[in-house]
């Protein structure tokens, strides 16, 4: 499966909060991560990875991380990079992987290949094909008043 195969992927943050994305098998995991974040209105501004550990990410036997592609970062030793790792080499129908975005805030997205189909000539991919639920704020604003204390008046 390659450039002529389109993968329909469901990316979810919960049962009623998901995005369905179509992407070519020849696209890589970096491109997949970019459309995932954009489909949830997130900035694509943090490191990320994919893991077959669906419960916690870090114990995966199959892992792909951006860190393994960076020259100025020592590889984590936990797998392969995301740049150049093609969708067709990772996913098959019904396969799930956890996508961790932002190792500080730990946004955990479940990804699942819903199926494949033949590509149509000149179709623009990747693309968002279905959206359900309101995306959360990537950087929620906390009420500043909760942390403030009353000024001390010693007059």
Span 101-140, pLDDT tens digits:
998 899 999 999 999 999 999 999 999 999 999 999 998 8
Average pLDDT for 8-22: 97
Q: What average pLDDT is seen over the chain? A: 86
Of 51, 43, 64, 63, give the one whose Cα is nearest residue 139.
43
pTM, entire model: 0.83
Instruction: Return the exposure string of 66-75: e unless at least 16 CB atoms fall within 10 Å of the residue's CB, then b.
Output: bbbbeeeeee
Q: How confident is the model at residue 19 (pLDDT cuts 50, 70, 90)?
A: very high
What confidence tier does 1 reach under pLDDT thresholds 50, 70, 90?
very low
pLDDT in tens, 66-87: 876 566 655 555 678 889 899 9
Domain-by-domain residue ranges, the chain? 5-146
Rounded to whole angstroms, the Cα distance separating 49 from 57 reads: 9
In the chain, what's the furthest Cα-to-Cα distance? 79
Q: What's the confidence (pLDDT) of residue 74?
A: 58
pLDDT grade for 155, boundaries at 50, 70 and 90 = very low
Give me the architecture of the 5-146 domain, per CATH: Roll (3.10)
| pLDDT interval class at 59 (50, 70, 90) | confident
74: β partners:
none
Higher local confidence (pLDDT), 22 or 47: 22
């Amino acid at each position: 499966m390659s450039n002529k195969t389109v993968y329909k992927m469901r990316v979810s943050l919960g049962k009623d909060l998901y995005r369905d994305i179509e992407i070519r098998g020849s696209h890589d995991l970096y491109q997949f991560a970019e459309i995932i974040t954009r489909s949830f209105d997130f900035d694509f501004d943090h490191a990320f990875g994919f893991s077959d550990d669906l419960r916690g990410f870090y114990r995966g036997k199959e892992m792909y991380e951006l860190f393994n592609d960076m020259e100025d970062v020592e590889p984590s030793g936990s797998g392969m990079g995301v740049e150049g790792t093609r969708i067709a080499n990772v996913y098959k129908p019904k396969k799930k992987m956890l996508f961790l975005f932002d190792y500080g805030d730990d946004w955990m997205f479940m990804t699942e290949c819903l199926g494949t189909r033949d590509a149509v000539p000149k179709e623009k991919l990747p693309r968002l094909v279905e959206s359900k639920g309101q995306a959360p704020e990537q950087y929620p604003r906390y009420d500043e008043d909760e942390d403030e204390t009353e000024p001390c008046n010693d007059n």
